[in-house]
Structure 1
Amino acid sequence: MNGKKILFVSSELVPYLPENEVSLMSYEAPRMVNSKGGQIRIFMPRYGNINERRHQLHEVIRLSGMNLVINDMDMPLIIKVASIPRERIQVYFIDNDEYFKRKSTFSDEDGNLFPDNDQRAIFFAKGVVETVKKLNWSPDIIHVHGWMASLLPLYLREYYADEPLFADSKIVTSVYGRSFEGKLDESMINKITFDGVPEENINALETPNYNNLLKVAVDYSDAVILAAEEIPEDLLNHISNLQKPVLPYVSLQEFEEAYDNFYNTQVLK
């Protein structure tokens, strides 16, 4: 990976959120690339339950201040940054008070999904791309982890199709086990077509559940990693019908060589 640029975009990341399959691999994969001489950038949402003082987040004024249009509403984009000290890894946080200033990540205290999770996902996808454009950083690989990041491949290939910075970037999506029950707002598809995305390309999102979000993500990706032992059969069947490189599940203890080889021989071929 020496000298290669990899953009990691994740729903969750340790040490900022509790450990689970997504948050752990979202930390370990960049750490591995970093140790092998690759250049990395990591993005995640700045959820309200992340302790800014303890983790020393601070706003990057030169990157903040832009408004993103979400479903015909102007929403201010705030960029914060922090470092994971022992790894010398920097993390960028996509923030907006309306979407992320809450005491939990995806659902309220009663376990109900936030009704605007669809808009939060759109805002996160656009916010990542706009920030990377400001950084003028052209990644060789964009690696997506977790459902809140799952709209990024779609937006890169449709909404930002003419953006030269990403013309040669390869997109990899890691698919994990089902991470939420139920579905997002049923008008989600209308909010995405508002951005000029053809409705026939995202028919799956007429039912915006976990499986269908990930189906759209892998449809717009160049390669797929099966990042959990148990993945919904419906999703596995969809992936198996794609003519794309797929890395079967490898445990956290053994992933380094497998991911490094997959990046170099299947994704960057």
Structure 2
Amino acid sequence: MTKKNISSTKRNKPVKTQKRETIPSKSVKVESEVHSLEENKIQNAKTEYDKKVDAEESMKNDVDKIEKKSPKMESVEEVISEESQTEVFTTSRRSVAFIGSECYPFVKTGGLGDVMYALPKALIKQNCDIKVIIPYYKCIPKKYREKMVYKGSFQMDLCADGRAFYVGIMEYIWEGIVYDFIDNEDFFSYGNPYTNLVDDIPKYCYFAKAVLSTLNYMDWIPDIIHCHDWQAALVPVYLRTKFKDTRLASAKTILTIHNLRFQGIYNIPTIRYWSGLPDYVFEKDALKVGYEDANMLKGGLTYSNIITTVSNTYAREIQSEYYGETLDAHLRYHSGKLRGIVNGIDYDIWNSVTDDRLYANYDTTNVLDKKKENKRNLQEELGLDQDEHKFVIGLISRLTDQKGLDLVNSIMTQIMDEHTQVVVLGSGDRKYEDSFRYYENTYKGSVCSNIMYDETRAHRIYAGADALLVPSQFEPCGLTQLIAMHYGTIPIVRETGGLKDTVEPYNMYTNTGNGFAFDRYEADLLLDAVNRAKSLYFLSRWCWDEMVQRDMDKNLSWDNSAKQYKNLYLDLT
């Protein structure tokens, strides 16, 4: 109530008494009451505000308590990440020495070099301590040799007559893996790792014994010694004979067969002299084959604790006469220790998302558009007719009978039509090199024959082709079909070895599968598989596109293989 309102109110007359008192007026009383009411409202409002603030503070404290007890989303992700990291190391640690004749990026002639590089890298994630040992070839690039560290040297008795040789040790540490190189000018001064059996037999007899001597010298006793192919096959033999009384005798050995066709066979006197092994290992059940030859791979199979090969199907196939390369009976005898584990591919090298060799990178979300772009650029680079609607078939292979080139040669003229292009990359037998040169000249603009090997071009063919031919007569594992699938290129394969284990044939009734396959080694069946692929591509393109994306989603890394090898190491030790 304002002062103006009070003055406008009618006043009462004063009452006379003996003692004069001032009686407040009614209007003043009302004003006092109003002020009191307003003060009460203000006080009540303040109280309500304080209560609200207290409630908010209380709520905030409760939230803080909850957050302290329960991690935030970011923290949860970190915990999950930490748990997944911890899960990798739920198994006991094992030390493993990898022994082989080549290893990428130092020296590589085939798939063995890739395995010797990628598998140890994957095993580190499985809580393994890895040391890779290979020869110190002079063909190793200078940029790696310059960074190697000298770790010591010694003289080693090798030959049956007591002849000794120098053993030097050079070390290189990269990506958490220790690489040790066995140095000797007499054996490893050649330009290439493999020359001929006359030179290679003494070279790898020396290498096998030098590996064990080096481990002893460095006092590094692994739980597992994992050997690869015939060049390292004498390591288990030496371990069970010459080194049986050393600390290394506690190590278990695994021998992995990458290709059974190569076995290290030579006459017994030569291998006996250069290895210095006792006479009893050259008997029928160990190294001896035929009447007068010794087989280094056979000796390794006999003396190793476990034999592995690079696919389950190949492990079964090599126990048959057709695939056994004369060792089928021996492998059947040792079948109880024979295992098959499929190889993987290194996603650090083969990844369409990050591959800087490609014209355009892509993943499953944009593969259908980006593969067209890669195809057009590939056609332009190779001088082919530029048309994204063409069906482009890639062939990246050694040009030999084993890779099925005789079948391809037989049907090449039937494959070619106005809708098809073929791109070849590789070298090998002269007859196949000349054949593909002829096809390039005959089908100008539709066939490109690159009689060589070029890493960048290989990557671009994987990305730009629609399908990849792998019609091998036998294939222990095969990496090309794995790379092709990871790049969204559909494989056309023969059902053998690792090709059968990794490529599920397309089923038109259920729209499942990730490639096209044929079983018997016949040219007509290969032609039928190619025609089935072309029919799906041109007549049911949505099914083809789904298969492309399905293939790219498939896990083809070394993770699964590394877990299987780790379990094998644990079982052995």
TM-score range, shorter chain: 0.7 to 0.9
Aligned to 2:466: none
Q: Provide the rounded CA distance (Å) in 2 between the counterparts of 1:181 and 1:168.
A: 27
Q: Provide the rounded CA distance (Å) in 1 between the counterparts of 2:191 and 2:267.
A: 21
Q: Could you report, residue by residue, the CA deviation over 1:68-112 in whole angstroms, capped at 9, with x for unpaired residues? A: 33343221111111123xx221100111101101111111xxxxx
Structure number having the greater helix percentage: 2
Unaligned runs of 5+ in 2: 1-90, 345-555
Aligned to 2:343: 251
CA gap 1:38/1:240 in 2 versus in 1, 3 angstroms = same
Aligned to 1:190: 272
Tell whether 2:64 aligns with 1:64: no
Tell whether 2:293 aligns with 1:207: yes
Code of the residue aligned with 1:156 in structure 2: it is L
Unaligned runs of 5+ in 1: 108-112
Residues 239 and 249 of structure 2 are in contact (CA less than 8 Å); yes or no, is this contact kept in structure 1? no
Residues 4 and 38 of structure 1 are in contact (CA less than 8 Å); yes or no, is this contact kept in structure 2? yes
Q: How does 1:44-83 map to 2 (within 5 A)?
A: 44-61=134-151, 63-72=152-161, 73-83=163-173
Aligned to 2:216: 133
Tell whether 2:178 aligns with 1:102: no
CA gap 1:182/1:55 in 2 versus in 1, 3 angstroms = closer
Q: Could you report, residue by residue, the CA deviation over 1:145-188 in whole angstroms, capped at 9, with x for unpaired residues? A: 1221111010110111111x123211100011146488446533
CA gap 1:54/1:94 in 2 versus in 1, 3 angstroms = closer
Q: Could you report, residue by residue, the CA deviation over 1:121-145 in whole angstroms, capped at 9, with x for unpaired residues? A: 1211111111111121221111001
Tell whether 2:94 aligns with 1:4: yes
Residues 141 and 169 of structure 1 are in contact (CA less than 8 Å); yes or no, is this contact kept in structure 2? yes
Number of residues paired by the alignment?
Answer: 255
Q: CA RMSD in A?
A: 2.5
Residues 264 and 297 of structure 2 are in contact (CA less than 8 Å); yes or no, is this contact kept in structure 1? no
Code of the residue aligned with 2:259 in structure 1: it is G
Aligned to 1:110: none
Indicate the SS of the match to 1:264. Answer: helix
2:569 aligned to 248, 257, 263, which one? 263
Q: CA deviation at 1:5?
A: 1.1
CA gap 1:60/1:244 in 2 versus in 1, 3 angstroms = farther
Structure number having the greater strand percentage: 1
Residues 2 and 36 of structure 1 are in contact (CA less than 8 Å); yes or no, is this contact kept in structure 2? no
Q: CA deviation at 1:48?
A: 2.0
Q: Provide the rounded CA distance (Å) in 2 between the counterparts of 1:11 and 1:122.
A: 12
Residues 264 and 296 of structure 2 are in contact (CA less than 8 Å); yes or no, is this contact kept in structure 1? no
Indicate the SS of the match to 1:80. Answer: strand
Q: Provide the rounded CA distance (Å) in 2 between the counterparts of 1:193 and 1:100.
A: 17
Q: CA deviation at 1:118?
A: 1.7
Identity across aligned pairs (percent)? Answer: 24
Q: Provide the rounded CA distance (Å) in 2 between the counterparts of 1:102 and 1:50.
A: 11
Q: Provide the rounded CA distance (Å) in 2 between the counterparts of 1:120 and 1:196.
A: 19
Q: CA deviation at 1:114?
A: 4.8
Q: Highest Rg: 1 or 2? A: 2
Q: Provide the rounded CA distance (Å) in 2 between the counterparts of 1:35 and 1:195.
A: 38
Q: How does 1:25-174 map to 2 (within 5 A)?
A: 25-61=115-151, 63-72=152-161, 73-84=163-174, 87-107=175-195, 113-163=196-246, 165-174=247-256
Residues 45 and 124 of structure 1 are in contact (CA less than 8 Å); yes or no, is this contact kept in structure 2? yes
Q: Provide the rounded CA distance (Å) in 1 between the counterparts of 2:299 and 2:289.
A: 7
- TM-score, length of structure 1 as denominator length: 0.83
Tell whether 2:307 aligns with 1:224: yes
Bigger relative contact order, structure 1 or 2 (CA pairs below 8 A, ≥6 apart): 1
Residues 68 and 76 of structure 1 are in contact (CA less than 8 Å); yes or no, is this contact kept in structure 2? no
Aligned to 2:411: none
Q: CA deviation at 1:258?
A: 2.2
